[in-house]
Structure 1
Amino acid sequence: MKPARQLLVVDDELDVREMLAVLLTRHGFAVRTAAGGMEALVLAQEKLPDLILLDIMMHDMDGWEVLKLLQLDEATQRVPVVILSARAEPRDRIRGLQEGAVDYLAKPVAIEEVVARIESILGEGRAENP
């Protein structure tokens, strides 16, 4: 059995963090959460995640700044980042992809779609169906 893939969920809303953590754990992921940008940067340094789900609108540091700092750090620059935000305008989605996110999902989103996107990015999902 493969070890669970490590996810870091970054969102300043407690209910969103908790819901994502519970649902993603049920889907077999190991999930850590951060309430803001600074905490996310520290956690990513302490234990490199396989993927980061990142909100844009946060109080201490917005997701754009977090994304930029992750990319500037050699240790974290190759970690795929999926933006998960209520900002759903095309210009926000385009900016996210241009600034280095591998995907952009608008809230609210079905957990099945989040899981499918994560599995696709991490190269999982269809390996057991030849």
Structure 2
Amino acid sequence: MMIRKILIADDSNTERLNLTHILESAGYQVIAAQSGNEAKALAESQQPDLILLDIIMDDGDGYQACRAIKRNPATQSIPVIMVSSKSNPVDKQWAHKLGATDYIVKPYTEAEVLAQIKKL
């Protein structure tokens, strides 16, 4: 699968800008959302090739958004990578249960993010 368009959902402006910079520098097109609910809507309307989803957000957290994206026939085939400062193995297991493909722990490096995307 060729990844071109990536949806980032994070309520932190700094995180969104940082990820956008990493991804655009690597040649990806980026769409940004500030909440889980916005991410669900954009996933359906924009059909990105990949979604990077923060867990702790206002207006629909990443877990809820991941579950909704994976239950929606229009978006269920889009891979989701959770990006969170929560490094607990239980959080990772829960993310996988909800359908997340992978999990990146903050703080991350540019190399880590790009390596996760290349694995898909």
Specify the TM-score bucket, using the shorter chain as the normaliser.
over 0.9
| Cα deviations by residue, 1:9-60 (Å, 9 ceiling, x for unpaired) | 0000011001110111000110110000111111111110000000000011
Question: Identity percentage over the alignment?
Answer: 38
Confirm or deny: 8 A CA contact 1:4 1:30 kept in the other structure.
Answer: no
Distance 2:56 2:21 in 1: 22
State the TM-score, normalized to the length of structure 1. Answer: 0.88
1:64 equivalent to 2:63? Answer yes
Alignment RMSD (CA, Å)? 1.2
Per-residue deviation, 1:80: 0.2
Distance 2:67 2:95 in 1: 11
Alignment-derived partner of residue 97 in structure 1:
96
| Cα deviations by residue, 1:52-74 (Å, 9 ceiling, x for unpaired) | 00000001111110011101110
Distance 1:105 1:4 in 2: 17
Confirm or deny: 8 A CA contact 2:82 2:95 kept in the other structure.
Answer: yes
The 4+ residue runs of structure 1 with deviation greater than 2 A are: none
Number of equivalences: 119
Distance 1:104 1:25 in 2: 20
Letter in 1 for 2:21: V
